[in-house]
Amino acid sequence: MEKYFQQDGEASFVLFSLVHLITLAALLLSIVCIYLFRKTLRKERINLMVRVAIAAILILSEISLHVWLWRIKEWTIQYSLPFHLSSISVILSAAAILTRSFPLFEFTYFAGVGSALQAMITPDISAYTFPHFRYVHFFISHGGIVVANLFLVLVEKYRPTLQSLWRAFLYLNIYTLFVFILNDFIKGNYMYISAKPVNPSILDYLGPWPYYIFSLELIALMTFFILYLPFWLIKGRQK
C-alpha cells in the first residue's frame, strides 16, 4: 500500500496509453449516465444526494492532495496553496453544484471545464500512473470539475450565455492579476504566470516569459468559444 503514496511512482505516465484512454472513457461514461438519467436526477431527494456527493468528492480530493504533499514533505506556501486554476475550480465547482449558483457556474463552466479537459487530455503527471494516489487524485479532481458543471447543464438546465463567456474571461483575468501579485509577494509561481514550469509543457512552444501569457489568453478565449458553441448552435436552431 505504501508504494501507492510514495513520492516517486514506480511507473511513468504514458500519454494515450490504455490506462489513460480507459480513464477518459470512464469520464465520458459518467457524463452519458448523467444525461440518460437526467429526469431521475431531478427528483428532489436524489438530486440533493447526488449534488452533495459530487461536492464532497471534490472537496475531499483537494484536502487529500494537501495531506499527501504534507506527508511527503513537499507542501510549501510558494507552490501548494489552492491558487492554481485547477484547485480554485475544484472549490468553486463544489460550491456551484452544492448551492446551484449560476454566477459561480458561469466561471467554472468556462474556466474550470476548459482547463480541466485540457489537463486530462495532456496531464502533467509524468512520474505517476494508475494506481498511484497522484494519478487517481488528478483525474478525480479534474474529472469532478467536468462532471459537476455538466450536471448543472444536463440536470439543472443551466445555459451559459455569450455574456457569461465574457464575464468568465473578465473574472479569469482579474484572478490572474491577483495571482501574479501573490506570486511576487511570496516568491511563488501559481498558474505558471511568473515563470514556465520546470517539466516540459505546452508553454515551451508559446514563447518566452511574459509573451507566453498572451498566447495563453488567446487559447483560453478560443476554448471558451468552443465550450459556448453547442449552446449557440442550439439557440440558433430553436430560433
Per residue in 202-229, pLDDT (tens digit) is 787 888 888 999 999 999 999 999 999 9
Instruction: Provide the pLDDT for residue 206.
Output: 86
Q: Is 144 exposed, middle or buried (0-12, 13-18, 19+ CB in 10 A)?
A: buried
Cβ atoms of 157 and 151 within 8 Å: the answer is no
**Does residue 33 surpass a pLDDT of 80?**
yes
CA max distance for the chain: 58
pLDDT in tens, 97-123: 999 999 999 999 999 999 999 999 988
**Smallest Cα–Cα separation from 162: which of 238, 228, 236, 235?**
228
CA distance linking residue 7 with residue 119, whole number of Å: 21
Q: Which residues neighbour 161 within 8 Å (Cβ) at sequence distance 6 or greater?
A: 231
**Count of Cβ atoms closer than 10 Å to residue 130 Cβ:** 17
Per-residue pLDDT band at 127 (split at 50, 70, 90): confident
pLDDT of residue 199: 66
Q: Where exactly are the structural domains of the chain?
A: 2-238
